[in-house]
Each structure stands twice: as structure tokens, then as C-alpha cells.
């Protein structure tokens, strides 16, 4: 199966049930020739087959014991955990490769969004300081695929949770970036609670530490960014409700724009339930 032969599938909407995914789509996904378009496809593809294909694509041995041992035990883990194990196996193999940077670049630019998701996790495994991790993950924060962008912020979430003040300072310019994906990353990464990730206790108790970053986004023109900022404040409202309410009122007074009104309306949803 050649990549060009799948062009007619790239504009598909995606099946709403795994059982309805076309065999041709599953084949393309498992060969690393197509991007997933929804969670069903992400869960349904043949992960073992994809890992072997990607290894070969990026210049690693798909028959290496390190990879084969990992693939053999995948069934023992939850679906999302399996991706972490595959990523680690590929990372370990790359450490022994004579052209490590070239291998890493091929993974980071792979046609499969799942492969690029694995590449984001290499940032976590690198052990780099926070500033270097953010620089390394930036390309994935700006990725065209929604799934890669989610993996991007999750890759550095633990590092941010241990140094939130430093992270907020480093991310301040990101909140002013021309790319809405980058601006949204700055907000999503620092959410006090977030989704499927460690909570940031310092921002749960003192969310006002993030106010300079949030202020830059209070009237953002992107709905993608607006939703993240609203979710950020909604997180904070669960521990610091009066502060969130005061911030929303102040924002409306400074910028009574449709964008700000939308953010404030969504940000107060938990507060309304408790009223």
C-alpha cells in the first residue's frame, strides 16, 4: 500500500464506532501512512504493527529485542500506557544509534500522528531542564494534529508542576505568539487541575500567580484558546471561587468583547452550580 493511494481517505470524518472503521483506513493507520481523525481510530489501529513500521521508517531495527519484548507485553497495560512503553523502547534503541539526531527528526516529522505523539514523550525522557524541555516540545505544541498537541503539553506537565513559577515566566511570551496553538498550549499546560494529569497545587491555592499569562489571553480571538482559558479559570474556581469571580468582573469591565464574555460565561459554570 503506497501513501499516495490513500489520498482519498485523508478528508474522511471518521467512524463514530470502532466497528465501523473501514478496513482500508485501519490498514493505512497501522502502516503509519495515515493520521487518525478521532479517538476511535487512535484506539483501533494495530499498535504492534505500527510500532514495527515506524521503527523501520526512522532507521531502527524493527526486530530488535528491546522493541519485540515491549510489543509482546503491551496487552498487560491500559491503552494509553502502551504508547508510553513503545515510545520508551524506541528512545532506548535510538540512544544506541550512530545518528541519533537524524532518527529523532524522522520520528518528530513522521506522517503518522501517533508516531509524533511518541516523539513528544522523548522530551519527558530526555531529562532536560524545564526551559530546554519547553523549547523541544514547541514544535509539537504547534502541530497540525489535535492529538499531538495534547500529548505535547502532557509531556512537560510533571516538570511544570514542580516549578510553576519558572514555567509561567518562560511561557509568558508564548501567550503573545501569533499561533493560536502556541497560545493555547501556554494556557492548557498550566491549568491548576487539567485533565488526565497531575494537579498543580501551587496554582490551585494561588491561581493569581498566573494572572500575567491569563491577562494576555482574556480577549483572545481564537475559540480554541478561549475554551482553554475558560477551563483554566473554572479549575481555579473550585478552590478560589471569589478570586475567579472578581477576575471575571474585572475582565468584563476592561474588555466587554464577545471573546471575553464567552470566556467568562464558561469560566463561571462551576460557580453557577454552587450559587
C-alpha closest to that of 229 among 180, 271, 184, 170: 184
Question: Among 27, 45, 63, where does a domain finish?
Answer: 45
Report pLDDT digits (tens) over 81-102. Answer: 999 999 999 999 999 898 999 9
Question: Is the separation of the CB atoms in 225 and 141 below 8 Å?
Answer: no
Q: What is the pLDDT of residue 4?
A: 63
What pLDDT shows up at residue 10?
85
Stated length of the chain: 275
Give the per-residue SS3 of the chain: CCHHHHHHHCCCCCCCCHHHCCHHHHHHHHCCCCCCCCHHHHHHCCHHHHHHHHHHHCCCCCCCHHHHHHHHCHHHCCHHHHHHHHHHHHHHHHHCCCCHHHHHHHHHCCCCHHHHHHHHHHHHHHCCCHHHHHHHHHHHHCCCCHHHHHHHHHHHHHHHHHCHHHHHHHHHHHHHCCCHHHHHHHHHHCCCCCCCCCCCHHHHHCHHHHHHHHHCCCCCCCHHHHHHHHHHHHHHHCCCHHHHHHHHHHHHHHCCCHHHHHHHHHHCHHHHHHC
- Total number of domains constituting the chain: 2
Is residue 177 included in any domain, yes or no? yes
Tell me whether residue 218 is in a domain. Answer: yes
Query: In the prediction, which pLDDT does 166 show?
Result: 98
Among candidates 143, 213, 150, 152, which has minimal Cα distance to 183? 213
- Grid coordinates representing 71 are 510489543
Q: Is residue 272 part of a domain?
A: yes
**Residue range(s) defining the domain that contains residue 9:** 1-45
CATH number at 220 reads 1.25.40.290
Residue 222 counted as domain residue: yes
Q: How far apart are the C-alpha atoms of 35 and 28, rounded to whole Å?
A: 8
For residue 196, being part of any structural domain is answered with yes
79 located within any domain: no
Q: Does residue 96 lie in a domain region?
A: no
First-to-final CA distance of the chain: 58
| Residue 190: per-residue pLDDT | 97
254 occurs within a structural domain: yes
Gap between the Cα atoms of 197 and 166, Å rounded? 19
Residues of the chain with pLDDT under 70: 1-4, 275
Quote the mean pLDDT of the chain. 95
**Vertex 1 angle, CA 150 and 142, to 5°:** 20
CA distances from 250 to 234, 245, 269 (A): 16, 9, 17
Amino acid at each position: 500500500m503506497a501513501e499516495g493511494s490513500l489520498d482519498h481517505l485523508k478528508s474522511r470524518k471518521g467512524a463514530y464506532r470502532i466497528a465501523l472503521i473501514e478496513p482500508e483506513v485501519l490498514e493505512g493507520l497501522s502502516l503509519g501512512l495515515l493520521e487518525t481523525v478521532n479517538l476511535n481510530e487512535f484506539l483501533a489501529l494495530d499498535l504492534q504493527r505500527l510500532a514495527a513500521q515506524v521503527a523501520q521508517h526512522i532507521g531502527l531495527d524493527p526486530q530488535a529485542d528491546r522493541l519485540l519484548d515491549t510489543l509482546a507485553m503491551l496487552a498487560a497495560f491500559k491503552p494509553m500506557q502502551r504508547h508510553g512503553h513503545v515510545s520508551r523502547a524506541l528512545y532506548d534503541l535510538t540512544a544506541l544509534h550512530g545518528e541519533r539526531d537524524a532518527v529523532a527528526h524522522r520520528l518528530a516529522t513522521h506522517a503518522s500522528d501517533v508516531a509524533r505523539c511518541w516523539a513528544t514523550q522523548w522530551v519527558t525522557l530526555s531529562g532536560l531542564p524545564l526551559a530546554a524541555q519547553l523549547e523541544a516540545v514547541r514544535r509539537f505544541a504547534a502541530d497540525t494534529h489535535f492529538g499531538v498537541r495534547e500529548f505535547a503539553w502532557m509531556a512537560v506537565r510533571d516538570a511544570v508542576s514542580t516549578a510553576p513559577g519558572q514555567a509561567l515566566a518562560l511561557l509568558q511570551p508564548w501567550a503573545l505568539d501569533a499561533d493560536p496553538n502556541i497560545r493555547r498550549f501556554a494556557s492548557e499546560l498550566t491549568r491548576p487541575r487539567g485533565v488526565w494529569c497531575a494537579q498543580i497545587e501551587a496554582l490551585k491555592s494561588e491561581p493569581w500567580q498566573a494572572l500575567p499569562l491569563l491577562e494576555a489571553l482574556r480577549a483572545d480571538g481564537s475559540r480554541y484558546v478561549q475554551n482553554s482559558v475558560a477551563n483554566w479559570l473554572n479549575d481555579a474556581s473550585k478552590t478560589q471561587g471569589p478570586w475567579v469571580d472578581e477576575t471575571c468582573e474585572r475582565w468584563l469591565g476592561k474588555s466587554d468583547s464577545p471573546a471575553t464574555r464567552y470566556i467568562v460565561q464558561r469560566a463561571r459554570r462551576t460557580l453557577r452550580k454552587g450559587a
